[in-house]
Structure 1
Amino acid sequence: MTLYSRRKLLATGAAGGLVAAAAATGASAEDYSAAAMSDPGPHDPAQAATNPYDWQGLPTDHGNLGMLRHSFSQVHNRHTDAGWAREVTVRNFPISKNMAGVNMRLPKGAVRELHWHVPAEWAFVTYGVGRITAVDSGAQRFVADVKEGDLWFFPGGVPHSIQGLGPDGCEFILVFNDGNFSEDSTFLITDWFNHTPKEVLAKNFGVPASTFDNTTKKDLWIFGAPVPGSLADDLAQSQQPFVTNPYAFPLGDQKPVFQSAGGSVRIADVNNFPATTMSAALVELEPGGLRELHWHPLSDEWQYYISGTARMGVFHGEGRNNTVEFHPSDVGYVPQSIGHYVQNIGKDTVRFLEVFTTPQYADVSLASWMNNVPHELVAAHLNIDVATLQKLAQRKTPVVPV
Structure 2
Amino acid sequence: MKAQSLSQLLNLLPFILHSVNAIPARKVEESSNPGLRGSKTLVGYSPSESHGSSTTPDIKYSLLPGQKNDPDIGTYLDFTKVDNPQPIRGDTGGDDPGPRNYGYDKMNSDKLAPPGTDHGQTINAQWPMGLSHNRLGIDNAGWARQENTVVMPAATEMAGVDMRLEPAGYRELHWHVASEWSLVLNGSCRIQAVNENGETFVDDLVAGDVWFFPPGIPHSIQALDDGVEFLLVFDDGGFNEDNTFLATEVFLHSPKEVLAKNLGVAVADFDSIPNDELYIFKGTPAPKDIEKQNVTTSSGIVPRSQSYSYHFSEQQAHEVAGGSVKIVDPLTFPVASNFSAAIVTVHPGGMREIHWHPSSDEWTFFIKGQGRATLFTAPDAATTFDYMAGDVGYFPQSNSHYIENTGNEDLVFLEVLKAPEFTDMALGQWIASTPHQIISDTLKLSDSTLSKLKTEKQYVVAGSASDE
Q: Same fold (TM over 0.5)?
A: yes
Specify the alignment match of 1:8 in structure 2: 81
The total of aligned residue pairs comes to 384
Percentage identity across aligned positions?
41
How far does residue 42 in structure 1 lie from its aligned partner after superposition?
A: 2.0
Return the alpha-carbon distance in structure 2 between the equivalents of residues 339 and 193 of structure 1: 48
**Conserved? CA contact 1:140–1:242, under 8 Å:** yes
The one of 145, 148, 152 equivalent to 1:93 is 152
| Alpha-carbon distance between aligned partners in 2 of 1:236 and 1:201, rounded to the nearest angstrom | 23
Match of 2:173 among 109, 114, 124: 114
SS at match of 2:81: helix
Q: Amino acid of the residue matched to residue 226 of structure 1?
A: T
Task: Provide Cα deviations, 1:68-106, integer angstroms capped at 9, x if missing partner.
Answer: 111111111011232110011100111211111101000
State the partner residue of 1:368.
429
Correspondence 1:93-242 to 2 at 5 A: 93-166=152-225, 168-229=226-287, 230-236=289-295, 238=297, 240-242=299-301
Mapped to 2, the partners of 1:236 and 1:188 lie a distance apart of 21
* Residue in structure 2 matching 1:44, options 101, 108, 131: 101
CA separation in 2, counterparts of 1:231 and 1:107? Answer: 19
Q: Residue 72 in 1 paired to residue 168 in 2?
A: no
C-alpha change, 1:128 and 1:6, in structure 2 (3 Å) is farther
Match of 2:441, SS state, is helix
Aligned to 2:49: none
Aligned with 2:372: secondary structure? strand
Q: What TM-score do you get using the length of structure 2 for normalisation?
A: 0.78
Secondary structure at the aligned position of 1:381 is classed as: helix
* Residue pair 2:129, 2:146 contacting (<8 A) in 1 also: yes
Going from structure 1 to structure 2, the CA distance change for 1:99 and 1:118 (only over 3 Å counts) comes to: same
Q: Does 1:289 align with 2:350?
A: yes
Q: 1:347 aligns with which of 400, 405, 408?
A: 408
How far residue 388 of structure 1 moved from its aligned partner, in angstroms, is 3.5
Contact 1:305/1:351, CA 8 A, preserved across alignment: yes
Compute the displacement of 1:54 (Å): 1.2
* TM-score normalized by the length of structure 1: 0.91
- Alignment partners' CA distance in 2, 1:227 and 1:278: 31
Matches within 5 A, 1:330-345: 330-345=391-406
CA distance in 2, matches of 1:103, 1:4: 30
Which residue does the alignment assign to 1:62? 119
Question: Among residues 417, 442, 459, which one is paired with 1:398 in the alignment?
Answer: 459
Aligned-pair CA distance for 1:3: 9.5
Secondary structure in 2 matching 1:169: strand
Q: Is the contact made by 2:355 and 2:427 (CA closer than 8 Å) also made in structure 1?
A: yes
Q: Offset of 1:237 from its aligned partner?
A: 5.7
**Is 1:30–1:57's contact at 8 Å kept on the other side of the alignment?**
no
Does structure 1 retain, via aligned residues, the 8 Å contact 2:330–2:420?
yes
- 5+ residue gaps in structure 1? 20-28
Q: For each residue in 1:261-313, what CA deviation from the matched residue of structure 2 results, as whole angstroms up to 9, or x when unmatched?
A: 30011001001111112110000000011111110011110000011111111
CA deviation map 1:177-206 (0-9, x unaligned): 111111111100110100111111111111
Larger radius of gyration: 2
Against the structure 1 CA distance between its residues 30 and 60, is the aligned structure 2 distance closer, same or farther, given a 3 Å change threshold?
Answer: farther
Q: Does 1:273 align with 2:273?
A: no
Task: Give the partner amino acid of 1:223.
Answer: F
Q: Is the 8 A contact 1:259 1:399 kept in 2?
A: no
Higher relative contact order (CA 8 A, sep 6+): 1
Asked if 2 retains the 8 angstrom alpha-carbon contact of 1:122 and 1:154, the reply is yes
Corresponding letter in the other structure for 2:419: T
Three-state SS of the structure 2 residue aligned to 1:8 is coil
Please give the alpha-carbon distance, in whole angstroms, between the structure 2 residues aligned to 1:208 and 1:6: 67
Q: Is the 8 A contact 2:122 2:376 kept in 1?
A: no
Find the counterpart in structure 2 of residue 314 from structure 1: 375
User: Which amino acid counterpart does residue 384 of structure 1 have in structure 2?
Assistant: L
Paired letter, 1:52: S
Distance 2:170 2:90 in 1: 51
For 1:203, give the aligned amino acid. K
Q: Pairwise CA RMSD of aligned residues? A: 2.0
Deviations 1:16-69 (A, max 9, x none): 3x76xxxxxxxxx3433xxx5222232211223332111110121111213211
For 2:322, the equivalent position in structure 1 comes to 262
Is contact 2:347-2:462 (8 Å) kept?
no
Q: Confirm or deny: 8 A CA contact 1:91 1:180 kept in the other structure.
A: yes
Structure 1 window deviating more from structure 2 (134-143 vs 121-130): it is 134-143
- Greater shift after overlay, 325-334 or 240-249? 240-249
Code of the residue aligned with 1:39 in structure 2: it is: D
